[in-house]
Amino acid sequence: MEKEITTSNVLDEWGNEYQSVRRWLSKIQRKNDATFDLYRFCKWAQMSPDELLALKEDPKSMEAETLLDDFKISDEYTLSVRRRILINVKSFFKGNYKGLAAKAGIVDEYVKQKPYHKLTKEDIYKLWRMCFNPRDRFLLSLVFSSGIAKESIIKITWGHLEGDWEKQRIVHISLEPEIIKGHGRGKYKGVRQETFLAPSAKRDLLEYKAWIEEKLGRPVTKDDPLILTTEQPYEAISYTRLTNIFISLQKRTGVMVSPHDARRYVENALESANIHINRCRKIRGRKIKGEEDPYSQPAIEELRIDYAKALDDLEFQIEKPAIKPEDVRKEIINAIPDEEIKPIADKYGISISEARHMVILRESAFRDFWSERRKRKQTERNGGNDSGETFEEINEEDLLTHLRSGWKIVHINSQTGKVIISR
């Protein structure tokens, strides 16, 4: 019985036996998908790849072009799939230096058959909650805050993060031309993607880093792939496996999602924040007319400030704001009308603002009260028994060290970067 050809085995079972296919694949990125499209076309045409190329032995012959046009109007596959197959078949001819007429196989009026998935924060949060491990949670946060494409994700290393990323609230990621769209060739020469991780994505990165380092038994290095497989030998995730993660999330949640949906989500968030179109394109890794050299560090900082304007839309991890005692006290004190404070201020010969400030400064006693209140609430939640848990409030940059020591995250204040942890 003939073995079924699929995307995952098409190279071994079919593509690699043809020198013309190997020559073509050396020049493109998505090898499995492209080869499978060529295989489906060859199966429809009942020809081998070499027989297809033979149609252009005579440059004046239009047999190949006619064949593509016939496939275009056939009932084989959906319109969108036929369009993609035709693109890859033309790429195969070009990769073997067999030119086709520009109009061959062009789908002139392609109309998308299904609408794009318009995801809400609630949709993405549902997906995030259903991730089975820290790697997948970070992966979801990565694509929905950076807009990095699937083709680039499989090539990113830890070295693409800025050097002091653990100290940054919004983490900068810089991708060279070779691993983004256009691969630095032709009009895409010198184009970089200068994008960022939202604060919640950074927290997911910290948890993932602690988790993967425990599996590796060593600290990650700049040359390690950023997204690794979750089983030995812990290698860079493949394009197919990356796709399967999103397919599995769809099945578990009922939410239709793809990495490309994430790119549109980021683009919409940037545009909603009224960020200049050129800066939006830079964050998404697209060509900017008239651009010459890569961004300087001051320009990156300006880009980071602009990106921060979109955080309200980009941050999908829904949470209630943390209660900070000092902030509550300040709001209460500042809410008291001046006319009620004035008699007291006059009595002691101070200004109204000084009177407010003096009340706010008395923090030590209030902190003791708040600590006892928190312990009492914790005891009540445990049925009257003291849980024995220890709580601390730390800065976000110290989180990784505490996670390695067995602490767990209780709550994160996105506005201040403070984290409450317990053990």
Q: Using one digit for the tens of pLDDT, what is the confidence trace for 254-300?
A: 999 888 889 889 999 998 888 888 888 889 888 776 665 556 777 88
Q: Band of the pLDDT at 375, cuts 50, 70, 90?
A: low
Task: Give the tens place of pLDDT for each residue, 170-215.
Answer: 999 999 988 887 777 766 777 889 999 999 999 999 999 999 999 9
What backbone phi and psi angles, to 5 degrees, belong to 88?
-75, -35
Measured on CA atoms in the order 329, 333, 334, 335, is the torsion positive or negative?
positive
pLDDT at 141 over 90: yes
Q: Which of 79-88, 222-231, 369-378 has the lowest mean pLDDT?
A: 369-378
For the ranges 79-88, 112-121, 165-174, the maximum mean pLDDT occurs at 165-174
Output the six-digit token pair for 222: 């700049």
Q: Band of the pLDDT at 113, cuts 50, 70, 90?
A: very low
Output the six-digit token pair for 378: 């914790």
Listing DSSP states for 217-257 in one string gives TS---TTSBSSB-SSTT--BPPHHHHHHHHHHHHHHH----
Give the per-residue pLDDT at 112: 47
Q: Band of the pLDDT at 111, cuts 50, 70, 90?
A: very low
CATH of the domain spanning 121-314? 1.10.443.10
Domain residue limits, the chain: 10-95, 121-314, 327-383, 389-423
Give the per-residue pLDDT at 110: 45
In what helix (H) or strand (E) does residue 307 lie, and over which residues does it extend? helix 297-308
Question: Using CA atoms, how far apart are residues 359 and 349, in angstroms rounded to an integer?
Answer: 15
In this structure, which amino acid lies at residue 416?
T
* Cβ neighbours around 164 below 10 Å, total: 10
Task: Give the tens place of pLDDT for each residue, 398-412.
Answer: 888 888 887 888 777
Burial 198-220 (b: 16+ CB within 10 A, else e): bbbbbbbbbbbbbbbeeeeeeeb
Rounded to 5°, the CA angle 32-228-237 comes to 5
The distance from CA 307 to its chain's CA centroid, rounded to whole angstroms, is 14
Question: Using CA atoms, how far apart are residues 337 and 340, in angstroms rounded to an integer?
Answer: 6
